Structure 1
Amino acid sequence: MMNALERRSTFALSSIFALRMLGLFMIVPVFSVAGQSYQYATPALIGLAVGVYGLTQAILQIPFSLIADRFSRKPLIILGLLLFALGGAVAAMSETIYGVIIGRAIAGGGAVSAVVMALLADVTREENRTKAMATMGMSIGVSFMVAFSLGPWLTTLVGISGLFWVTTIMGLLAILMLFMVPSTTRHHKNFQQGYFNQLKQVLKMQDLNRLHVSVFALHLLLTAMFIYVPSQLIEFADIPLSKHGLIYLPLLVVSLFFAFPSIILAEKYRKMRGIFLTAIGGIIAGLAVMIFGFESKYILLLGLGLFFIAFNVMEALLPSWLSKAAPIQSKATAMGVNASGQFLGAFCGGILGGQLNMLGNTTLGWSILTGIALIWLLISFGLSQPRYLSSLVFSLPEAKQTDEWTSQLLAIRGIEEVVVMPEQQVAYVKVDKQQIDEAARHDLTRLLGKEVAI
């Protein structure tokens, strides 16, 4: 069970993600039409205005995350959210398409997705990590669907510039949510290394690279599908574009009933690799159904349903697995590389979706997406089961200096990391139970003044 601190932090950080994603995604379903009202607008520049956010996100995730492994994470998140809000304001006040492009690029400069996930990993215990990451993953999926439903409706009320102002407001609200999260001080055994070596260490880890490929493929397929499927829902299912949000939301809700049990099974029974590969299989199945049945309304919806179930499982498992596999001293860096893969996937998926719409062969289009998913599955077979650590919660000692106390803890075999929350007077201690022996238990008992059950 999560404690109150974990529940509050998970809610706040998931809300930050959701508010950012809402601000981003509400623009997507309306800008191809509404963007034509801007001076100097062309189809290519309208596409750039939509896509430049993802491009700057992909470029700047790694620098932000490298810094976040050295310094406090919360000020970096505030900086990123201020850039996000500023970018929305610049776009809202622009009368030309170039101003919108600049605003979207500035908003994308607030590339703090990985930093937010790393902070969530800091303030949650290992055994609750998957639940917390699942909540964050679900917030992304829900915000995506809600944005596609709200975007057209809000545009009719406040116009496209008003929609950008809504983005700014959401960025500022996200900053307020951050005050619900405790400040942390991280301590671990590894010595600090240069930025280049830190990034090099992360990029050399094959399992991490497979996870980066996975998030790239997942968001490539998702974005390409959302560009590719609307015309088929109109043509074959006789569902007008204005009603598509009413299709996506129920499918998302149904998918959650399948996703949560899968996530619990993955963590509780340590079946993460099996559930992960099964979820990729579910994505392949959903896409394959649409190869053969896209002309039938109900088979098309069945394929979408299978895809959404598998997508939500993957969206929850990926950050949790990443937090387990990443080196403790480079957790944000690994998440930064992963987030760059996510945004590059979305960027490439947008381009691919447009090309598929130009093919004029729906069967071939779904076959191409299925082929990409099959390649992803083959790459993922090389994944090893992640390392499972546990977390203990200790009260901070009154008599000792915190730095001295954490140093003594880290000297004990099996203690991997200590995250201190001074305002709450508690510390989360990350433990590898397989390395804890009698001598380590004795040292812990001596240091804490009481026997610890591990």
Structure 2
Amino acid sequence: MSSVEYKSIFALSLIFSVRMLGLFMVIPVLAVFTQGMNGFSPVTVGLAIGGYGFSQALLQIPMGWLSDKIGRKSVISAGLLIFMVGSVIAALSDSMNGIIMGRIIQGCGAISAAIIALAADLTREQHRTKGMAIIGMGIGLSFCLAMIMGPVIGSYGGLSGLFLANAAMGGIALMALIFFVPSPVVFSRDLNSHVQVGKIRDILRNPNLLRYMGGIFTLHFVLMALFVFIPKQLQQAGYDSAFQGVVYLGVMMASLVVMMPMIIISERRRWLKQFMLVSIAVLLLSLALLSEVKISNGGLIVAIILFFIAFNFLEATLPSLVSKQSKAGFRGTAMGIYTTCQFLGAALGGSLGGWIMMFYGIQGVVFLCGILVALWWLYSATMKHPPYVRSMVMALYPSSRGNTQETGQMLAALPGVEDVSILADEGIAYLKVDWQRVDRSMLYRYGKC
């Protein structure tokens, strides 16, 4: 990648991560800091936690399409301003209704698809996968930081201070967009970063992809439902708001120490299905511990650590599985549906979790989550082993562009090449390759990867 490409990708990663940091930072403290507020109840807490998911799920794909029409930076700028407005509304609110409204408006700044499309516009074909990986790592880091920073900032500035920090982060992201991200000269037609309406039906007919969509829905449903009561449980265990940040720091460090070797081993040994089933089982175990009426302080911490070991592994692995299972050139559409399921899970997890908490208590919430996770395990146990392939984007040499149909057939005939899709007008080939079997010297005769 060139220096301009690196600068653009890191700036876009910062924008994406800072915004996600703001959305997630209030999750570990909302249930505690809103106690005594006008309209407080488990139901309104759940709506405040997951409210952003409704607007995100509804608007993220349309906002991506809008960026094709009026420009990426215009849509991203508008989305960040909307996010800042929602943050200020929530910061100035003294009732749960105001906070819920602010969270929903925050989610209306749904710029994920536009950022991914802009990243594709600003990088050459052969470097786009690397660019998307950098953005993905930033998102994962932002979630971990949010769990740690939320309680710490909240202990000093309260809930209003947290939401004002959200607004400030939106401002930082907007400045990064204006000063560090160049405007693309042309819009790239990149199939790995755009949702193609005509391909949605094909994605929904793939049973393995449906398993992954259901999996990410369940994972974020459970996450948001549990955070309706976990912060209060920690408070009752003697961990005040400020110290909860230290607790989450320890939890995240412990979970990452276990999770990283799991990812490496599962990929290297090709045990993704086995590790996925084990992780879902660990989720069930953590829920079983949380369901204990008189859980000890140590048991509570162990349950949270187990939950985040499984959560972080599945959160990192499921997008990879979607990418592996999607046909060449279909990844953008598959990921668009995938993220919509993720936001819907967050929205319904918070709202239904709060409603059940109000009438059936912690055991009711855990029971519902346990049923969903058990069904997910059973559904996943019947899936085929995923193909161990990598997605590649190849810029074809001029000599390979004359007869793209013939070029596609020759590429598909190479050992280790599992799938090929070519955009003839763009001179770009989308490939799925088994990296252990493919002859790279033969592959590179047709273009740059």
TM range, smaller chain: 0.7 to 0.9
> Contact 2:209–2:322 (CA<8 Å) still a contact in 1?
yes
1:170–1:443 CA distance, 2 compared to 1 (3 A): closer
Alignment partner, residue 80 of structure 2: 84
**Aligned CA-pair RMSD:** 4.8
CA distance in 1, matches of 2:147, 2:27: 12
CA distance in 2, matches of 1:176, 1:127: 24
Which amino acid in 1 is paired with 2:174?
Answer: L
Which amino acid in 1 is paired with 2:311?
Answer: F
CA distance in 1, matches of 2:244, 2:443: 61
Alignment partner, residue 264 of structure 2: 264
Identity %: 28
Runs (5+) with no aligned partner, structure 1: none
> Aligned pair 1:163/2:172, yes or no?
no
Larger deviation: 358-367 or 116-125? 116-125
Structure 2 SS opposite 1:416: strand
Match of 2:410 among 412, 415, 430: 412
CA distance in 2, matches of 1:198, 1:393: 19
1:314 deviates by: 0.6
CA distance in 2, matches of 1:194, 1:210: 21
1:181–1:16 CA distance, 2 compared to 1 (3 A): farther
Which amino acid in 2 is paired with 1:203?
Answer: L
Number of aligned residues: 431
Runs (5+) with no aligned partner, structure 2: 413-418
Structure 2 SS opposite 1:430: strand
> Contact 1:17–1:139 (CA<8 Å) still a contact in 2?
no
> Contact 1:64–1:112 (CA<8 Å) still a contact in 2?
yes
Matches within 5 A, 1:236-247: 237-247=237-247
CA distance in 2, matches of 1:119, 1:169: 19
Matches within 5 A, 1:131-280: 135-136=137-138, 138-153=140-155, 155-156=157-158, 159=161, 162-173=164-175, 175=177, 179=181, 185=188, 195=197, 197-235=198-236, 237-280=237-280
> Contact 2:47–2:351 (CA<8 Å) still a contact in 1?
no
Which amino acid in 2 is paired with 1:312?
Answer: N
1:155 deviates by: 2.6
> Aligned pair 1:23/2:22, yes or no?
yes
CA distance in 2, matches of 1:277, 1:179: 41
1:173–1:331 CA distance, 2 compared to 1 (3 A): farther
1:105–1:206 CA distance, 2 compared to 1 (3 A): same
Q: Deviations over 1:429-448 (max 9, x none)?
A: 635359x999x987974x56
Q: TM-score, normalised by structure 1?
A: 0.74
> Contact 2:54–2:347 (CA<8 Å) still a contact in 1?
yes
1:320 deviates by: 1.1
1:392–1:88 CA distance, 2 compared to 1 (3 A): closer
CA distance in 2, matches of 1:156, 1:437: 55
CA distance in 2, matches of 1:91, 1:130: 27
> Contact 2:46–2:354 (CA<8 Å) still a contact in 1?
no
> Contact 2:27–2:227 (CA<8 Å) still a contact in 1?
no
Larger deviation: 103-112 or 373-382? 103-112
CA distance in 2, matches of 1:411, 1:181: 36
1:381 deviates by: 1.8
> Aligned pair 1:432/2:433, yes or no?
yes
1:47–1:316 CA distance, 2 compared to 1 (3 A): closer
1:406–1:12 CA distance, 2 compared to 1 (3 A): farther
Structure 2 SS opposite 1:343: helix
CA distance in 1, matches of 2:421, 2:143: 31
CA distance in 2, matches of 1:163, 1:18: 14
CA distance in 1, matches of 2:277, 2:210: 16
CA distance in 2, matches of 1:119, 1:271: 34
Q: Deviations over 1:234-257 (max 9, x none)?
A: 33x322233222111111011111
Structure 1 SS opposite 2:310: helix
> Contact 1:52–1:101 (CA<8 Å) still a contact in 2?
yes
1:34 deviates by: 7.2
